[in-house]
Amino acid sequence: MCETCGCTLTAGNEHLVQGEGRLTRTEDGKAAITVLQSLLHENDHQAEHNRAHLDAYGTLAVNLMSSPGSGKTSLLETTIEALQSSLKVAVIEGDLETENDAVRVRAKGVPVVQITTGSACHLDAHLVHDALHHLELDGVDILFIENVGNLVCPASFDLGHHINVTLLSVTEGDDKPAKYPVMFRAADLLLLSKTDLLAVLDDFDPAAAEAHFRNLANPAPVLQLSARKGEGVEEWLHWLRQTLMVHRARLRQGITSRPSVQPDGVQVHKHGPAHQSQHYHHHHDHDHGHKHHRDPGGQPHHDHHYG
Amino acid sequence: MHEFSVCQDLLRQVEDLARAHNARTVSAIHLRIGPLSGIEASLLEQAFTVARAGTVAAAAVLATEALPIRVRCRSCGASGVASPNRLVCGACGDWHTELLSGDELLLASVELELEEDDDV
């Protein structure tokens, strides 16, 4: 069984996999196949491909998730302004119906690809793959993927990104992590946003929000930020730069990065870093035009040809 | 309602398996789902009744096995069951735990009716 396809393999169930794909008979004589593979195998497969593509350019992909209206786009505007002299940023915008967010971010002078999802409540790896075809990644240090504003569905889909940032604005309840455990468990950084409003809100306690967050056994850092007032922006930028540095150092060793909690993938990571270095070399049956020629970290890098 | 997307992904896998084994139809699909997968089994079953139409699994039964959430404490070593929004150690209360099970979203097995079975 492939370790990069998102399947859950533990010491406890490994023996079950020995018969994987082999035909056996059930008690009443029916043919049965033991699979033990993620339900989202197709999505995960595409996500691995996206990640390999991004890695070939040394681009760090950050998945931004939150409720609608918690300040993802404002955060992007502030971040792009602050980074424009030092890092090259690109954005993929997921939005249900409008291009409003894309227009706002594009006004900051960075490449933006809009994915209008229609009624779909989340981005998936296939949508991101299509968007990547419209994005020139050469020289791009950080790709922000602004997911659809939703605290439920986006948590279940690997996009091929490297890290999850979840926003919780102080205008929401401080018990949101307890109400949406799947989403907040997946956060590699929790950003409490709109903190300038804490002065006028008496029902949001940042310490309570963090306590609910820790109850999910999540050790990720928690930062407070007001994009409007510029408070906490330095700490956020520091985290971003550190994350990029660590990611690039890993890439130089041929190891990619993944969110610490993957949908259905947590068990896979217990096998240690070795498998993480394996780029996905599955042969696609569709024609694919990517050529990965950029060297992310100064080491010789082989071209990957998919298709 | 992302369960429909998940269902479509599942059915593509099942169709591939059925084709690979030259199956006439798929009679049952067995899943294992943990509460932290973010997928509701009941919604998935509803979505499946719509998504399966016109596929080789059009008459298949979808059986889901719910897996419990279990954690092991990194501080005291105890392990036990936990709830989705309280993954702390039941023994010492520390939140430094690792998940042993509960986030699974697995296609466990598929039952097929094979062409060759007709000849028996």
- Give the Cα separation of A122 and A291 in Å (integer): 28
Distance from the B69 Cα atom to the nearest Cα atom in chain A, whole angstroms: 12
Q: Positive or negative, the Cα torsion across A243, A249, A250, A254?
A: positive
In this prediction the ipTM stands at: 0.89
- Give the Cα separation of B88 and B73 in Å (integer): 8
* Tokens (6 digits) for A196: 């300038």
Enumerate the H helices of A40-139 as residue ranges: 41-56, 72-83, 100-106, 125-132
Q: How many whole angstroms from its chain centre is CA A199?
A: 32
Distance from the B73 Cα atom to the nearest Cα atom in chain A, whole angstroms: 10
Lowest mean pLDDT among A181-195, A229-243, A279-293: A279-293
| Model-wide pTM > 0.90 | no
Check: CB of residue A138 under 8 Å from CB of residue A294.
yes
Mean pLDDT estimate for chain A: 82
- Give the Cα separation of A133 and A113 in Å (integer): 10
How does pLDDT run across B50-96, given as a tens digit for each residue?
999 999 999 999 999 999 999 999 999 999 999 999 999 999 999 99
Option in A41, A185, A266 nearest B13 (CB): A41
What chain B residue is nearest to A46 in terms of C-alpha separation?
A: B9
Does A40 contact chain B (CB < 8 Å)?
A: yes
- Give the Cα separation of A59 and A296 in Å (integer): 8
How does pLDDT run across A74-120, given as a tens digit for each residue?
999 999 999 999 999 999 998 877 888 889 999 999 999 999 877 77
Does A211 contact chain B (CB < 8 Å)?
A: no
How does pLDDT run across A4-35, given as a tens digit for each residue?
333 333 433 343 444 445 677 777 778 899 98
Check: CB of residue A179 under 8 Å from CB of residue A209.
no
Check: CB of residue B4 under 8 Å from CB of residue A157.
no
- 3-state secondary structure at position A61: strand
In angstroms and rounded to an integer, the radius of gyration of the C-alpha atoms of chain B is 18
Question: How many C-beta atoms surround the C-beta of residue A237 within 10 A?
Answer: 16
The more confidently predicted of residues A14 and B17 is: B17
Distance from the A78 Cα atom to the nearest Cα atom in chain B, whole angstroms: 31
- Give the Cα separation of A42 and B8 in Å (integer): 9
From its phi and psi, is residue A216 left (phi > 0), alpha (psi between -120 and 50) or beta?
A: alpha
Q: Which residues on B lie below 8 Å from A40 (Cβ)?
A: 6, 9, 105
- Give the Cα separation of B56 and B118 in Å (integer): 16
Q: What percent of chain B has pLDDT over 70?
A: 95
- Give the Cα separation of A207 and A204 in Å (integer): 9
- Paired with B113 in beta bridges are B25
| CA angle in degrees (0–180, nearest 5) for B105-B108-A4 | 60
Asked if the model's pLDDT at residue A239 lies above 90, the reply is: yes
* Tokens (6 digits) for B84: 């989705």
pLDDT at residue A139, rounded to an integer: 96
Q: What percent of chain A has pLDDT over 70?
A: 78
Beta-carbon contacts of residue B77 (< 8 Å; ≥ 6 apart) = none
Asked if the model's pLDDT at residue B3 lies above 80, the reply is: yes
Q: Which residues on A lie below 8 Å from B40 (Cβ)?
A: none
